[in-house]
Amino acid sequence: AQSVTQPDIHITVSEGASLELRCNYSYGATPYLFWYVQSPGQGLQLLLKYFSGDTLVQGIKGFEAEFKRSQSSFNLRKPSVHWSDAAEYFCAVGPGGGGADGLTFGKGTHLIIQP
Amino acid sequence: GAVVSQHPSWVICKSGTSVKIECRSLDFQATTMFWYRQFPKQSLMLMATSNEGSKATYEQGVEKDKFLINHASLTLSTLTVTSAHPEDSSFYICSATNSNQPQHFGDGTRLSIL
């Protein structure tokens, strides 16, 4: 069965500091991996996705993520966070497009930005 | 980018009533739509998969008679929570996809049953 683990429930980072959010997955086939961001009371916005090819993927808002098959990880990074990055971040695994299966989400990491 | 519209965004109703939530794919034809449920401070849990023109497929533990799903067109899926009770209060989010798109999510519907 597929699963996603986000080990950090909360992370606090100072504004301007770098950020790394961890994600580990378990998936039977070649994984399609996603990072979504959710602001309070809002839906999900796709930050970036990995299907194949270059293992370092660039997303919106200055985020990037690196797929490491040997570690079953897909960690999200940002070199310098802004106060507006405070939100809930979800890692997900599943089919890339037109798949018959929904996504499996991690439990999320709540990002707090300190001034 | 692709947009998925979900309506209403917030609904409060009395126990025992039925509530319909709409999910519209605005700029692409969604052959598949998914319905998720999110409890406070929890992750999203897949409830059902809806393919246009077919019966929805429900995840284990989700009552199909409680959560009626209709996907009559390539741009619209509806979720009806029948005879809603306080334990059905939650945040419901839909997503839409096709062979060329990853899942795009709506902004969610907050359902509160009194």
Q: Mind listing the pLDDT tens digit for each residue in B82-110? A: 999 999 999 999 999 888 777 888 989 99
Contact A18, A82 (CB under 8 A): no
Q: Which of A38, A42, A37, A40 is nearest to A62 (CA)?
A: A37
* Residue A100 confidence (pLDDT): 58
Average pLDDT over residues B41-47: 88
Contact B40, B107 (CB under 8 A): no
Asked whether the predicted pLDDT for residue A11 surpasses 80, the reply is yes
CA–CA separation, B73 and A56 (whole Å): 37
Asked whether the predicted pLDDT for residue B3 surpasses 70, the reply is yes
Judge whether A25 is closer than 8 Å to chain B, CB to CB: no
* Residue B19 confidence (pLDDT): 97
**Distance of residue B43 Cα from the nearest chain A Cα, in angstroms:** 5
* Residue A101 confidence (pLDDT): 73
What is the average pLDDT value for chain A, to the nearest integer? 90
Strand-pair partners of B11:
B111
**Distance of residue A96 Cα from the nearest chain B Cα, in angstroms:** 5
Angle, alpha carbons B107-B108-B113 (nearest 5°)? 150
CA–CA separation, B24 and B95 (whole Å): 9
Average pLDDT over residues B47-64: 91
Band (B67; pLDDT cuts 50, 70, 90): very high
Which of A37, A38, A90 has the highest number of chain B CBs within 10 A, making it the mutation to test binding with B?
Answer: A38
Which residues in chain B touch residue A41, judged by CB atoms under 8 angstroms apart? 91, 108, 110
Band (B2; pLDDT cuts 50, 70, 90): low
Q: Which of B13, B8, B40, B17 is nearest to B114 (CA)?
A: B13
Judge whether B23 is closer than 8 Å to chain A, CB to CB: no
CA–CA separation, B45 and B24 (whole Å): 20
H-helix segments, chain A: none
Greater confidence (A43 vs A112) lies with: A112
Average pLDDT over residues A63-69: 95
